[in-house]
Amino acid sequence: MLITVALALAAGVLALLAIAMGYALGWANRRFYVEVDPKVEAVLAALPGANCGGCGFVGCSAYAEAVAKGDTAVNLCAPGGASCAQQLADIMGVALEESFPYRAVVHCSATRNERLQRTEYRGEQTCTSANLVAGVQGCIYGCLGIGDCAAACQYDAVHVVDGLSTIDYDKCIGCGACARACPRNIITMVPFKSERMLVVACSNQDAAADVRAVCMVGCIGCKACMRAAPDLITIEGALPSINYDNYDPTDETLQKVLEKCPRKRVLFVGRPTKAELAAVADEEMPEPVQADFKTTVDDTAWRG
């Protein structure tokens, strides 16, 4: 009799609890229902989900909400690229203006041996901290080479080679993290209208004598580039600046500018062209090592 009553009571309590909670959750589901715009879900599905912040919003869900509201451009997602922009344009029913991928460009090209070092820096190993200290490096505008940009990049596209920050254009997706990380603001985002773009690879605004004192390759402000292509290049201080709105990849003057610069600081950067690849086709290239992450541990990593 005790066992019967105990079992019946146990079963009754559990059943009642389950029914009560079921009702409570069902009621709450209706009462606390949050209207989710189906467009937000569609946009979120189209976005790559990298949460890189390159669009200027905190994450992909924030950008999806802004796009669904209708007041934000659909082509702000750099990792998504043109295909994603097209999908977003289709979802929102807008036409897509032509846009180019933005990629990072480092406006300095002096390796460690080419620039004047002053004292050995022994502080916190970040560019931000080194930038606050006077006398670390001769050139106060150029790359410090400690690697805040490389640390900021989530896509393994920035590396410090010989003390100079270098961008791997096969991997750069244009999120802008490195540009935001650089304390000297010498990394900018440039619209890549072609695979190889002409850039000014120096940030030193001082006069020629001062530049030569601190760097073997810096821009001396001779203005030869501006004379060769006056529509494209303007001089600010003693430093040229390229207007990328007027930039036409097929223009012949680009090659002329490259030849005219005595210090060879106005260069092409980007992916190698077919001709250049053919020229090194005989050389042995090392195989990139691909990591294999597929184990029986599921992608939904339980870190409980």
Partner 1 sequence: MGEPEAGGGEAPGRGHALAMDTLATLILIFVGAALINNFVLHYFVGICPFLGVSRRVDTAFGMGCAVTFVISIAALLNWTFTYFVLRPGAPLPAWVWAAAGGDPATQVDLSVLSYIIYIFVIASSVQLVEMYVRKFFPPLYRSFGVYLPLITTNCAILFACLEIMKHMQDPTKVWGLHEALALAVGGGIGFTLAISLMAGIREELDLCEVPRPLKGAGIALIVAGIMAMAFMGFTGVDKGVHAALSALLR
Partner 2 sequence: MPSDQPTALERFINGILPENPIYRQLLGMCPVLAVTNGMKPAMTMAAATAFVLICANVMVSLIRGLLKPHLRILVFTLTIATFVTIADRLLAAYVYDMSKQLGPYVPLIIVNCIIISRCEICASKQGAGVAIADAFGMSLGFALALASIATVREILGSGTWLGLPVLPAGWPGWGIMVLPPGAFLTLGLLLGMAEWASQRRAAVKRQGGGTR
- Integer angstrom CA distances of residue 60 from 67, 90, 178: 10, 18, 19
Task: Give the nearest distance from C-beta 60 to partner 1 in angstroms.
Answer: 14
Provide the terminal-to-terminal Cα distance of the chain, rounded to the nearest Å. 44
The residue among 23 and 116 lying less far from partner 2, judged by its C-beta, is: 23
Tell me if 297 contacts partner 1 by CB under 8 A. Answer: no
Binder among 41, 90, 124, 231 for partner 1 (CB under 8 A)? 124
The interface partner of residue 116, options being partner 2, partner 1, none and the CB cut-off 5 to 8 Å by kind, is none
- Integer angstrom CA distances of residue 3 from 8, 12, 13, 16, 214: 8, 14, 15, 20, 93
Alpha-helical segments (H) within the chain: 2-31, 38-46, 60-69, 81-92, 127-132, 148-152, 177-181, 208-214, 224-228, 253-260, 274-279
The residue among 30 and 274 lying less far from partner 1, judged by its C-beta, is: 30
The interface partner of residue 13, options being partner 1, partner 2, none and the CB cut-off 5 to 8 Å by kind, is partner 1
Where does this chain touch partner 1 (CB under 8 A) — which range of 24-32, 170-178, 180-188, 291-299? Answer: 24-32
Residue 179's CB: how many other CB atoms inside 10 A? 20
Binder among 19, 24, 133, 277 for partner 1 (CB under 8 A)? 24
| Nearest by Cα to 178 from 194, 202, 155 | 155
Tell me if 291 contacts partner 1 by CB under 8 A. Answer: no
Task: Give the nearest distance from C-beta 126 to partner 1 in angstroms.
Answer: 8
The residue among 142 and 147 lying less far from partner 1, judged by its C-beta, is: 147
Binder among 71, 120, 286, 293 for partner 2 (CB under 8 A)? 286
d(CA 71, CA 64): 11
Task: Give the nearest distance from C-beta 288 to partner 1 in angstroms.
Answer: 22
Q: By the 8 A CB rule, do 144 and 136 touch?
A: yes
Chain residues that interact with partner 2, rule: CB under 8 A: 286-287, 289, 295-298, 300, 302-304
